[in-house]
Chain A
Amino acid sequence: MNYIQRGLLTLVGVFSLITHSMADSGDKPQYAVSKIDPELKKGKYSVVRVDEMELDVITPTKALFKTHYVITIFNKKAEDLAEHAFTYDNETVLSFAEARVYDQNGDLLDRIKAKDMKDEGTYRHTSLFDDNRRKVVDLKRTTYPYTVEFVEEKVLHSTMFLPSWVGFSDRKMGVESSIYKVTAPAGVLKYKQNEMAPEPVISKQEGKETYVWKLEQEEGIRKFEKRYPIAEQLPSVTLAANVFAMDGHQGDYTSWKTFGKWIWGLNKGQDVVPEELKYTIHSVTDTLQTSREKAKAVYEFVQQNTHYVNLSLGIGGFKPFSVEQVYRTGYGDCKALTNYTYSLLKEVGVPSVYTLVRAGRDANPIDTTFVASQFNHVILSVPLDKDTVFLECTSQDVPFGFIGGFTDDRDVLFITEEGGELGRTKRYTQEENVWSSKMEVLLDEEGVARSTYWLNATGMMYDNFYFMLGVKEREKQIKFINRLLEVKSMEIGEIEMEEERDVIPTFHLKTDFESRLMVEKSVGRFFITPNQVNALTSTPKKAKNRKNPFYQYNEDIEVDTVVWQLPEGYSLENKPADIQLKCPMGTFEATYNVEGSQLTYTRKLALQKGVYAPELYNEYVEFLRSVKKADREKVTFHKQEEDSPKKDL
C-alpha cells in the first residue's frame, strides 16, 4: 500500500465486506499483467488492480475496517509500494494480515502471514513510551513487473480518527478499481473531499447510511507540481464521526465548541497545584507587578524545572499528566507541560488558554470548516493587555513569547470552559525576520585572506540558528561555520555566539578565519567570487502548464555585505553590473562598489510569503534563477605595474 494511505491508516482501522479470498482462487490467474488494459498501463510505474476499503462504524467504541490492496509494479521507481506496514495499537486490534506476491503471469510466488512479519514499535527510537506498533513486510523483487497484495482486517475501539481514502497515491499510477465504502448509523458521519475526488453514492437503509467513493480505469496524474501540497494533488476523502470515542471517553465533533468542551473535560482536575509548588511559584512571582512579568517568570520557571519527553498512552495522547505528576517527575509531553504552565499561571492570577495546533514548518493548514481533530500539538496562549503571547512549553531554551516556524501564523483551537474557539497564532512579519551579515576580508599578496564575519538573525531567522547556542563543542561549531559559509578551507579562530532573548529574539555570531583558497589567483591577478556568505544554490524548474497555485513559505529579508580589501596596487579589471530584480514574490539587488583596491559587495533578498497564482510560477522561477546566477558572479582585480613594459617573445 502506498505511503499516504499507510500514513492515514495509522490513524485508525475497521472492517466489513471484503472476504479473505485471494487472487489465485479462480481458474485463471487473476492478476496476470496481461489482463491490464494496455492503454491504462502505458507510461505507468504502477497500476492499482484492486483497492477496496470498507469501514463499518457500529458504535462510537466499535468499528470494523477491512482493506484489500493489489498493485502491479512495473519498475524500480515504484518499488517502495512493495513494502507495507500493518499498524495497530491498544485501541486497534489487527485481526488479520497477509501479504502475497505474484509474478507477471499472476502466479503466486510467496505468501507472508502475520505471524511471520517483523513486529516493531512504530516510534521505538524517539519515544519514551507509546503503544503504536506495526507488522512490516517487504515484497520487493528484482524482476519486473510483479504484483503485490495486502489484506488486513482491524477492529477499531476508537473512532476519533477514521481512515481516510486516497484514490491513488502516486504519480504515474493507474487505477483499475479503487473503492471506499463506509457505513455508519444515520447522521453520524461527515466527510470532506478535495476537488479531485469523485462524488460519493449515498444510500440509506435501516437507520444506516452508506457512502461509496469509486474510481475505475483511472489514468491518474503524470506529475506532482512543486511547492504545493502533494495531498491536494491526489483525490482524497477525510472522514469523521460526529460522536466518537477514545479510550472509552465519548467525544463530540458537531462543532468546535463541543469538541473543545470534550478536551476541556479531559483536562479537568489535572490542574491541581500541590501546596509546596504553590508556595514556590508565589515566591517567584509575588513581587512582580504586571501579568506579562508574571507570565514570563512562570514560563522561565517551567523551562528551568522541567523537560520534554515524548510519551503517549491511549487517551494519554489527549489527556495531560496532572500538575502533581509533572512536579514529581520534572518532565512531561506537550500537553502535560502546557497544562502545568497553565495551572501555575492560574495560581498566580494570570489567565491563559490551552491551545491545540497543527505544528510543523510549512505544515498544511487545518480546514476550519471541518470539525475534527486535525491537531498534533499543544501550546499556551496568554492574552495580555496589548497582545497575546504564545508559549512553546516543551522548549527549555526559546525566549518567552517566541514560537518560531513550528507553530506560527496558523489557525488554532482555544480550549476554554465554554468550549472550543478558533483563533490564530502570531505571524512574523518580513521586517521581523531579518538575516543581516557582514564580512570583512583582507587579502595579502599571496592570496591569503584574513576575514571577520558577523551575523545577526532575528525572528524566524533566529529560529534557524538558536539550536547552536547550546552547542559548546568546538568541532561542532567549526562544522556549523563550514556549512554556513561558502568559503573553502577555513582555519577558524574565535567563534562567539550569543542571543538577545526577546519576543522577537536575535542570534549573534562573530567569527574570524583565515583561508588560502577564498580567491583564485595568478601572477598579478585575483579572481574573486564576492558572495561567499549567502548564495542561492538550487532553483526549481520552470513549468509549462502549471495547474495549481504555489506557496512561498518564507517572509524575510537577507542583507549581506562583504568588504574585500586587496593589497596595495591592485585595481579593478572587470566587474559585473549592479542588479535589481523584482517580482510579486520578492525583490533582489546586488551592488559592487570599488574604491581603489577595495570592493564592497552588497546583496539584499526580500521574500514575500503567500499563495500565488499558477501563472506567476515561471516568473518566480526566473527570479530565483537570476538570483542564483548573480550569486555566482566574479570580479577580477589586477596589479598595476605602470613601469613594466610588455615582454617580447
Chain B
Amino acid sequence: MRLIITLLLLCFLSTAFGQFKTAKWGRLFKEDVEYTTCEFEPEAKAVILFHVGKYNFIGSSNQIHTNIYKRIKLLTDDAEEYANIVIPIYTKDDTERISGLHAQTLVVDPNGKLQKYTLDKKDIYYTKLNENITLVKFTFPQAQKGAILEYKYRVRDKNIVMPDPWYFQSEKMPTEFSHIKFTYPDYLGYKIKTQGHRLSLKYMGKNNINAWELEKIPSMKDVDFLFCEDDYRLQLSIQLNSYRTNQGYDKEFGNNWNQIAKSTRLADAFYSYNRKGKYKKIVEEIVQDDDSEQVKVSKLYAYVTTHFKWDEKYDLYPSQSLSELLVSKKGSSAELNALMKGLCEVAGLQAEWVANSTRTHGMIFEHIPMFDAFNNLLASVVVDGKQWYIDTTHPKLPWNLPHQNLLTTKTFAFERSGSFWGEVATDERSMVNMYFQMDYTGEEPTCKAKISYQGYDAYDKRKELLKEKEALEEEEDEDEDEEEDEEEDEEDATEDEDDEEFMLQGFEVVNAELSDLENVNEDVTLSLEWKADPLTEETGNIYLEAVAPTIFKDNPFTQEQRLFPIEFDSPWHFNYVMTVKIPKGYRIADQPKGTAARLPANVGKVVYVANENAGILTVRMKVDINNTYMHQDFYPNLKQFFDLLLDYSNKKIVMEKVDI
C-alpha cells in the first residue's frame, strides 16, 4: 500500500527548484504536500506559501495590469476562516476592474491522489461596500486541514500614479515567499518606497531593479501600544513622479513635496473657504477689536467646537463647501480646521493651512515625498508672535493642546512657496500631582488630598469624570422620579454610594471639591477630605498604603516577546507626596525602602523616598515617562519598570504602638 501511495504521489508531484519560490497552477511540489507547521510561527493555523504579483504598465491603454497569484495552506482543523477571501476593488469611475479570477482547492486524498475542487463562478459574490469600493468575496470549496488553496486574478487599474501597494507581510498569517515585479517603460519615472527593516537591509542602495522578494515573513499579530501597525509592516509603494514629454524632457510632478502640493491642487480644494465675507459676520459677533490675540483665538476655538460637530473623519480635502458646512454644522477635520483658519484670518491673526499625517495614519518620510503621505489638515495660527497648530475636532481639549493622535513631527504648509516642515508639539506637561496629608494625632484621624491633572491627563480625567457625572445624574434622575412616589430609604442610599467605586472606594468622604469640568482651559483639580479607615487590629497598629490611592492597578505589558516598538500617547509625569503625622506612642515599624530606577535611553524613571522627621513621615514618589517611543529591545525593562510601580502600590506602611 505504501508503495502505491508513493507512486501515486510521484504522478503529480513536481520537483521544486527552491522551496516555495515557484508554483505552478494546479501542480503541487513535494514541499507543499509535506508542509505541516510553519517553523518560524509554529502556532499559525494557515500559511501563505507563495504570493506573487506582477505589475505591468500597458502603454497602449495607459493602464497598469496587475496579476496576482496566491497559494495558502491550511494547517489546522479550525483554519476555515482563512478560506474566506475578500478582494476590495476601487470601482468608482471604473478605476479598477477585476478579471480572470480563478480559485481552486488542492487536496491530496487518503489514497494519495490529488483532488482539485474548482470555485464555481456563481459562488463569487460582488458586494458594493460604498460608492468607491466593491468587495469581491468567495469561500474556497472543501477547505480542510492540509488543503492548499490557490487563486489568481488580474486587476486593470487606470490609476497609474499610485497603484495598490504590495504587502509582503500578511495581517493574518505567516508568508513563506512573497515577490513583486514591476515593469514600466523608460518614459515614465516611478519612485519606489520600501518600508520595514528587512526590505531596507536587502535593497537599500540598489538601483535599477524592478523585482523584490522576501522569504519567511511572520504575520502582523494583534499589537497593543502602536498607533499605526502599517508603519512597521513590510511593504512597497509605487508612485509615478515624472513622464517624458514629446519634446523629450522629463516632466516632474511628484518628486518633491511642493510638486505634490501643486499636482494635487490641494490649495484649490479649499477655494470656497477663502471667501472672507462668510466669516465676517461670525467674527464680528464673537470677537471684540480690543481682545488680545489669545482671547480671540480662544473665543473662535470655542465657537467652532461648540457649534460644529466633528464627523470623526480625518481628512485632507474638504468634501463640502464652506456654505454647506455652515448649514450642516458637521464636518471632517479638514473642513472644521479650514473654517478655524478662515475665522482667525478675518479676526486679524496670521493663519494658514498645514497638512500632516495623524499617528494612526502613519509616519511621513521626509525624503520620500508621496501623494498619500498626508491625511489631515490643521490650522496654523500665530498668536502673540508664536506659531500654534490648532485642531478643532476634540472640544474637550483646550485650543493649545492638539489631540495625541496629531502629535507628529512632520507638518507641511502647502500654500507657501518652498518646503516648510514643522512639528505638532505642546509645551503643556501631562502630569498628575497628588498631595496627601494624613493626620493621626487627633482623636479622629483626618485625611486630606489635593489631586491635579494637567495636559492630556486633564483631558482624559475630564472625559472620565464627565461620563461618571452623567451616569450619576442619570441615576439621581431615576431616584428623584422614585422619590415622588415613595420616601427615600436611607439605608439604600448609603449602599448605592458604596457601589459608585469612585476614587476612594470604601472611604467615607467628608468633603470634596472638583474644578469646573466644562472649562477646558483649566486643569482638573480635586480636593478631598475623608475619615481615615486604617486597618487597625487589636494590637493597635495602624496600616496604610505606601502609595495611595492605587493608581497603578496592573501591568499593561503582558506580552512575553515584543516584535515592534512601544508607542505612548504623550510624555507623562506622576508626582506623589504624602505626609503622615504620627500619633503619640507610635513609631514607624515598617515602610518600603527607597528606590530609584531608570529605563534605558532616559525614556523613564521612578524615584521613591521616605523620610521621618519630627513626628512626620514624608513619602515621595515621582514617575517620569519622558518619551513617546521605546525600542522593542527594551520591552523587558519596561515590564520590570511597571512591576516595580505595582510593587510600591502593594506595600504598606506600619505604625506600631510602642510602650512609652
Q: Give A contacts to B, CB under 8 Å.
A: 77, 109-110, 118-121, 124, 128-129, 138, 140-143, 222-223, 304-305, 307-309, 328-331, 396-397, 470, 472-475, 478-479, 482, 488-489, 516-517, 519-525, 527, 539, 541-542, 544-545, 573-574, 625, 634, 636, 646-649
Chain A residue at minimal CB-CB distance from B552: A488
Residues of chain B within 8 A (CB-CB) of A478 are 558-560
Residues of chain B with a CB closer than 8 A to A649's CB:
587, 658, 660
A541–B475 CB distance below 8 A = yes
Q: Are B84 and A119 in contact (CB under 8 A)?
A: no
Given A223-B481, A329-B123, A329-B141, decide whether A396 and B78 contact each other with a Cβ distance below 8 A. Answer: yes
- Whether the Cβ atoms of A331 and B589 lie closer than 8 Å is no
Q: Is there an interface contact between A527 and B659, defined as CB atoms closer than 8 Å?
A: no
User: Closest residue to B306 on the A side, CB-wise?
Assistant: A142
Given contacts A118-B130, A517-B650, contact A636 B537 (CB under 8 A): yes
Chain A residue with Cβ nearest B654: A522
* 8 closest A-B pairs by CB: A307-B80, A129-B125, A523-B590, A330-B142, A522-B652, A472-B43, A329-B141, A522-B590
B78 touches A222 (CB 8 A): no
| Contact residues, B132-190 vs A (CB, 8 A) | 135, 137-144
A542-B221 contact in complex given A121-B127, A489-B643, C-beta closer than 8 Å: no
Closest to A121 in B: B127
Chain A residues with Cβ under 8 A from B485's Cβ? 544-545
Which residue of chain B has its CB nearest to the CB of A487? B554
Report whether A544 and B558 are in contact in the complex, using a CB–CB cutoff of 8 Å: no
B489: Cβ under 8 A from any A Cβ: yes
CB distance from B83 to the nearest CB of A (A): 7
* 19 extra A-B contacts, CB within 8 A, seeds A330-B105, A330-B142, A521-B650: A109-B329, A119-B128, A119-B130, A124-B129, A128-B84, A304-B144, A308-B80, A397-B78, A489-B554, A516-B643, A517-B643, A521-B652, A525-B652, A573-B537, A574-B537, A625-B495, A625-B499, A648-B658, A649-B587
Given contacts A124-B129, A539-B499, contact A143 B307 (CB under 8 A): yes
Asked if B486 CB lies within 8 Å of chain A CBs, one says yes
Please indicate the chain A residues that have their CB under 8 angstroms from the CB of B590 in the complex: 522-524
Looking at chain B's contact residues, the main secondary structure is: mixed
A330 touches B652 (CB 8 A): no
Q: Are A542 and B495 in contact (CB under 8 A)?
A: yes
Distance from B225 Cβ to chain A, minimum over Cβ atoms (Å): 13
Check if A304 sits within 8 Å of B77, measured CB to CB.
Answer: yes
Contact B486 A544 (CB under 8 A): yes
Would B327 and A110 count as touching, CB distance under 8 A? yes
A636 pairs with B654, CB closer than 8 A: no
Contact A475 B221 (CB under 8 A): yes
- Docked CA distance A397–B78 (Å): 8
Instruction: Report whether A223 and B647 are in contact in the complex, using a CB–CB cutoff of 8 Å.
Output: no
In the complex, B116 has a CB within 8 A of chain A: no
> Does B200 sit within 8 A of A, measured CB to CB?
no
What is the chain A residue whose CB lies nearest that of B506?
Answer: A632
CB distance from B592 to the nearest CB of A (A): 9
Inter-subunit contact B535/A636 (CB<8 Å):
yes
Q: How far is the CA of A138 from the CA of B310 in the complex (A)?
A: 12
Give bound CA distance, A424 to B537, whole Å: 57
Say yes or no: B658 contacts A646, CB within 8 Å: yes
Q: How far is the CB of A185 from chain B (nearest CB, A)?
A: 37
Say if the beta carbon of B330 comes within 8 Å of chain A: yes
Write the nearest CB–CB distance from A193 to chain B, whole angstroms: 26
Write 12 A-B pairs (CB below 8 A) sorted by A numbering.
A120-B129, A138-B330, A142-B309, A473-B221, A474-B560, A516-B643, A520-B650, A520-B651, A525-B652, A542-B495, A544-B489, A647-B658
- With A and B bound together, what is the CA distance between A331 and B84 in angstroms? 11
- CB atoms of B650 and A305 under 8 A apart: no
A215 to B653, CA, bound (A): 65
Q: Which of B625-645 contact A (CB under 8 A)?
A: 643
Return the chain A residue nearest B305 by Cβ.
Answer: A142
Quote the shortest CB–CB distance from A499 to chain B (angstroms).
Answer: 13
Scan B468-495; emit 1 where CB is below 8 A from any A CB, else 0: 0010001100100110011001001001
Q: How far is the CA of A637 from the CA of B276 in the complex (A)?
A: 75
B427 at interface by CB-CB < 8 Å: no
- Known interface pairs A309-B84, A478-B560. Does A141 touch B329 (Cβ–Cβ under 8 Å)? yes
Q: What residues of B have a CB within 8 angstroms of the CB of A118 in the complex? A: 130
Contacts of A522 in B (CB 8 A): 543, 589-591, 651-654
Taking CB atoms, residues of chain A closer than 8 Å to B117 are 328, 330
B306–A124 contact, CB under 8 A?
no
CB–CB A646/B659 < 8 A: yes
Q: How far is the CA of A636 from the CA of B541 in the complex (A)?
A: 13
Decide: A396 and B587 in contact? CB cutoff 8 A.
no
A525 touching B654 by the CB < 8 A rule?
Answer: yes
Asked if residues B130 and A120 are in contact (CB atoms below 8 Å), the reply is: yes
What separation, in Å, do the CA atoms of A328 and B139 have in the docked complex? 12
Cβ distance B90 to chain A, nearest Cβ, rounded Å = 16
Residues in B neighbouring A473, C-beta threshold 8 A:
43, 221
Q: Which of B311, B591, B643 has the most CB of A within 10 A?
A: B643
Contacts of A143 on B, CB cut-off 8 Å? 306-307
The residue of chain A having its C-beta at the shortest distance from the C-beta of B487 within the complex is: A544
Confirm or deny: B555 has a beta carbon within 8 angstroms of a beta carbon on chain A. Answer: yes
Query: Which of chain A's residues has its CB closest to B327's CB?
Result: A110
B113 to chain A, nearest CB (A): 14
Question: With A and B bound together, what is the CA distance between A124 and B76 in angstroms?
Answer: 27
**Bound CA–CA A647/B587 (angstroms):** 10
| Distance from B326 Cβ to chain A, minimum over Cβ atoms (Å) | 10
Residues of chain B lying within 8 A (CB to CB) of residue A646: 658-659
Q: Judging by beta carbons under 8 Å apart, are B131 and A119 in contact?
A: yes
Shortest distance in angstroms between B606's beta carbon and chain A's nearest beta carbon?
16
A-chain residues with CB within 8 Å of residue B130 when the two chains form the complex: 118-120
Known: A482-B558, A573-B537. A527 touches B652 (CB 8 A): yes
Task: Name the residue on B nearest A221 (C-beta).
Answer: B481
Q: How far is the CB of B154 from chain A (nearest CB, A)?
A: 22
How far is it, in angstroms, between the C-alpha of A489 and the C-alpha of B639 when the chains are bound?
A: 10
- Residues of chain A lying within 8 A (CB to CB) of residue B329: 109-110, 141-142
Which residues of the partner chain A approach B285 to less than 8 Å between Cβ atoms?
none
Identify the interface centre among B127, B309, B643: most chain A CB within 10 Å of its CB. B127
CB–CB B555/A489 < 8 A: yes
- The interface residues of chain B lying within 8 Å CB-to-CB of A120 are 129-130
Q: B496 on the interface (CB 8 Å rule)?
A: yes
A488 touches B141 (CB 8 A): no
Distance in angstroms from A160 CB to nearest chain B CB is: 23
| Chain B residues with CB under 8 A of A331 | 80, 83, 139, 141, 143
B124 CB, nearest partner CB in chain A, Å: 9
Quick check: is B55 within 8 A (CB to CB) of the other chain? no
Q: How far is the CB of B175 from the nearest CB of chain A, in Å? A: 17
Contact with A along B499-511 (1 / 0, CB 8 A): 1000000000000
Q: How far is the CB of B139 from chain A (nearest CB, A)?
A: 5
> With the chains together, A129 CA to B332 CA distance in Å?
31
Contacts of A542 in B (CB 8 A): 492, 495-496
Cα of A636 to Cα of B587 in the assembled complex, Å: 20
B296 at the interface (CB under 8 A from A): no
Bitwise interface map of B from 560 to 596 toward A, beta carbon under 8 Å scored 1, else 0: 1100000000000000000000000001011100000
Give chain A residues whose Cβ lies under 8 Å from the Cβ of B478: 222-223
Contact A305 B559 (CB under 8 A): no
Most buried by B among A307, A308, A470: A307
Residues of A within 8 A of B651 (CB): 520-522
CB distance from B492 to the nearest CB of A (A): 5
Q: Which residue of B lies closest to A303 (CB)?
A: B77
For window 493-536 of B, CB contacts with A under 8 Å fall at 495-496, 499, 535
In the assembled complex, B57 has its CB within 8 A of some CB on chain A: no
**Cα-based distance from A596 to B128 in the complex (angstroms):** 70
Chain A contacts for B135, CB-based, 8 A: 124
State the CA gap A273–B647 with chains docked (Å).
65
Residues of chain B with a CB closer than 8 A to A309's CB:
84, 139
**Known contacts A525-B654, A541-B475, A636-B537; A129/B43 CB under 8 A:** no
Q: Determine the residue in chain A with the shortest Cβ distance to B127.
A: A121
Pairwise interchain contact A541-B554, C-beta atoms closer than 8 A: no
